[in-house]
Amino acid sequence: MAVDLLLGLQWGDEGKGKIVDVLTKNYDIIARFQGGPNAGHTLEFDGIKHVLHTIPSGIFHDNTINLVGNGVVIDPVIFRKELESLSKYGIDLKKNLVVSRKAHLILPTHRLLDAASEASKGKAKIGSTLKGIGPTYMDKTGRNGIRVGDLEMKDWKKKYRALANKHVSMIDFYHSEIEFDLSELETEFFEALEILQSYTFIDSEEFLHQAQKEGKTILAEGAQGSLLDIDFGTYPYVTSSNTTAAGACTGLGVSPSRINEVFGIFKAYTTRVGSGPFPTELFDSYGETMGRVGNEFGATTGRPRRCGWLDLVALKYAVQINGVTQLMMMKGDVLSGFDKLKVCTSYKYKGKVIEHLPYNIEEENVTPIYTEMKGWKDDLTTMTDASQIPQTLNDYISFLEKELEVPIKIVSVGPDRTQTIHR
């Protein structure tokens, strides 16, 4: 059986958690392929809101295996907190959650290094979530990292100590003001590791290979968004992993020839949290309304998200890079009542009109050119069927489908599982 793939097309927080939860009934396995606790994936049902960071968003379904893939970086302390917050829901976590031996561990000193590095950058800081993501992936590619599978080896603590000592001298190098008590952090870390070690570690590429042979259905869950991709995002204001479709192959050990559907998720407008260019960003009452009505605050850090109009130049780029086969449009309900909507369809770039994303999208180089559309007045949040979608929203959807050349199969009209229209 082939593997389907779901990923974000903007700067993250598109609503991946909600849609993975909605789709999980169709899958035997949900597999996270990259990122770590910088992600915050929100799911809502039965009046309860859940936020997941490392654990895949299929965890609330009894008969689904949730796999944390080799491409993910795991902070045992945050993993433990996630497990604790799930403990009251009667989920058989020991049966339904498995972890790749090849996933890398975020150490307490990775978090400290993240903070020291960001502090040293001053105004040029990335706006990292400070979860230690960058330093952990640096140790992975630098071939110094500690992997989940190392915990099964006798001498891993020696390796840990050498790496942690090196990190401490690197923190000194930054001359940072950050204060820390490493022994306290390590106590918490080692306690959390014991909990992590009570879960099943697997050779996940083999597990997924066998599952495919047995005809099991698999959905790969992405984190962050395509514009935060280490290669194709707005570098250096990006995360440290491949968030795009190729990341699912390396992050799970699945061949490109086995990928079937690529579900691309986007908001009906755009948000970004952290630093970096954002051509369609709004600083007026439209942006303020998007933030307020859309409750645009980071699920991991609580920071307000920057808001702006939909950017089709950037979205087309993401659709192309990922080979998206189906689109899902989220949060159309947030735009209800807007007297007008704008969609950026090209950029004025160094005096010329262009329709592709150029190397540099800093404010001084790029002016967005907009197509203006009519807004919809109707409250969408109670709608459950495509026949109820108002004409103005259908016009908006048709316009996007024509521009992007991919069908929009799901329109989400609220945070709850049930507020989902299939087209």
Q: How far apart are CA 7 and CA 406, in angstroms?
A: 15
Q: Using the rule CB under 6 A, is 12 a contact of ligand IMO?
A: yes
Interacting residue with ligand IMO among 134, 247, 279, 415 (CB under 6 A): 134
Q: Can you give 256-314 as a three-state secondary structure string? A: HHHEEEEEEEEECCEEECCCCCCCCECCCHHHHHHHHHCCCECCCCCCECEEECEEHHH
**Under rule CB under 6 A, how many of the chain's residues touch ligand IMO?**
24
The least CB distance from residue 225 to ligand IMO, in Å, is 6
Cα-based distances in Å from 55 to 27, 111, 130, 351: 16, 19, 19, 47
Q: Using the rule CB under 5 A, is 75 a contact of Mg ion?
A: no
Q: How far apart are CA 197 and CA 202, in angstroms?
A: 12
Q: How far apart are CA 267 and CA 315, in angstroms?
A: 10
Rounded to 10 degrees, the C-alpha dihedral 377/285/280/237 comes to -120
- Residue whose CB is less far from ligand IMO, 130 or 404: 130
Site for Mg ion in 31-60 (CB under 5 A): 40
Q: Is 13 an active-site residue?
A: yes
Neighbours of 227 (CB within 10 A): 30
76 contact choice in ligand IMO, ligand GDP, Mg ion, none (CB below 5 to 8 Å, kind-dependent): none
The least CB distance from residue 299 to ligand IMO, in Å, is 6
Q: Using the rule CB under 6 A, is 39 a contact of ligand IMO?
A: yes
Interacting residue with ligand IMO among 224, 226, 242, 412 (CB under 6 A): 224
Q: Using the rule CB under 6 A, is 64 a contact of ligand IMO?
A: no
Question: Which residues here bind ligand GDP, judged by CB under 6 A?
Answer: 8, 12-18, 39-42, 44, 294, 299, 330-331, 333-334, 412-415
Residue pair 282/224 in contact by the 8 Å Cβ criterion: no
Interacting residue with ligand IMO among 117, 129, 242, 345 (CB under 6 A): 129
Joined together, the tokens standing for residue 238 give: 């990006």
Cα 358 vs. chain centroid, distance in angstroms?
23
- Residue whose CB is less far from ligand IMO, 70 or 224: 224
Joined together, the tokens standing for residue 358 give: 């150029």
Q: How far apart are CA 163 and CA 109, in angstroms?
A: 9
Q: Using the rule CB under 5 A, is 13 a contact of Mg ion?
A: yes
Residue pair 68/99 in contact by the 8 Å Cβ criterion: yes
Q: Using the rule CB under 6 A, is 20 a contact of ligand IMO?
A: no
> Phi and psi for 92 in degrees, rounded to 5?
-85, 80
Joined together, the tokens standing for residue 397 give: 């959807």
Distance in angstroms between the alpha carbons of the first and the last residue of the chain = 25
Interacting residue with Mg ion among 299, 314, 328, 413 (CB under 5 A): 299
Q: Using the rule CB under 6 A, is 43 a contact of ligand IMO?
A: no
Q: Using the rule CB under 6 A, is 78 a contact of ligand IMO?
A: no
Catalytic residue among 4, 41, 110, 167: 41
Interacting residue with ligand IMO among 70, 239, 242, 420 (CB under 6 A): 239
The least CB distance from residue 349 to Mg ion, in Å, is 30
Write out the residues near Mg ion by the rule CB under 5 A.
Answer: 13, 40, 299
Write out the residues near ligand IMO by the rule CB under 6 A.
Answer: 8, 11-13, 35, 38-41, 126-129, 131, 133-134, 223-225, 228, 239, 273-274, 299
Question: Active-site residue numbers?
Answer: 13, 41
